[in-house]
Chain A
Amino acid sequence: MSAILLAWALTLAQIMLGLSMICATVRVVIGPRAQDRVLGLDSLYVNAMLMLLVFGIQTGRTLYFEAALIIALLGFTSTLALAKFLMRGEVIE
């Protein structure tokens, strides 16, 4: 009984996170200016990281945790580089 409840809850959480990834993607596509697209990209990688964590709970493996950690590290760096690019026009001066 509790296993079926947990399975439904995890599937519902994955559907919700997928919907939020779709919302972020729509913002990346329609964003009027460049900073809106960068904001959508940042939101997209956070949602993808949470989706991988939920996959990790579902399968009971730590493989997905490492992938989520790498997404968090690289996403931070990419958003930082894009913000710097918007500010200065180049990343490395």
Chain B
Amino acid sequence: MILVPDLPAWAAAVVAILVLAGAAMTLIGSIGLLRMKTFYNRLHPPTLGSSAGTLLIVVGSMVCFSVLRTRPSVHEVLIAVFVTLTTPVTFMLLGRAALYRDRTGDGEEVPPSSTMENDAS
């Protein structure tokens, strides 16, 4: 049984390309999360999935539901806006917490502090 929405050909092609590109971006990000050596390197690759991957799949979903119902369907924008706003906050906090743990404890080597950093975290 083939479970697929009943879309016209152009919409099917657009949705397929968008969803495949988003999933590939997410896969690349997660492989990077697995392969990087230190924690501060590992902080970067997952953002590929939560920015580009989410955006592409959400746009694909918007195209799919707009064509299916023959009216604009924009409620997926909620997810895109929310993930785009919250990912930097969580990763900044997580990086700060790891930096604090590494500086106070006997952690791994911390990256050199930049000249712009003026708070004593």
- Residues on A lying within 8 angstroms of B by beta carbon are 1-7, 9-10, 12-14, 16-17, 19-21, 23-24, 26-27, 33, 35-36, 38-40, 42-43, 46-47, 49-50, 53-54, 56-60, 62, 65, 68-69, 72-73, 76, 79-80, 83-84, 86-87
Contacts and interface: CB of A to CB of B under 8 A. Distances in A.
A5 B13 contact: yes
Interface residues of B, number: 59
B12 A2 contact: yes
Contacts, number: 185
Main secondary structure of the interface of A (DSSP, over half): helix
Given A2-B12, A20-B49, A33-B107, 11 more contacts: A1-B9, A9-B20, A36-B39, A40-B33, A42-B90, A46-B53, A49-B54, A53-B79, A58-B4, A65-B79, A80-B89
Contacts of B4: 3, 6-7, 10, 58
A83 to B, nearest CB: 4
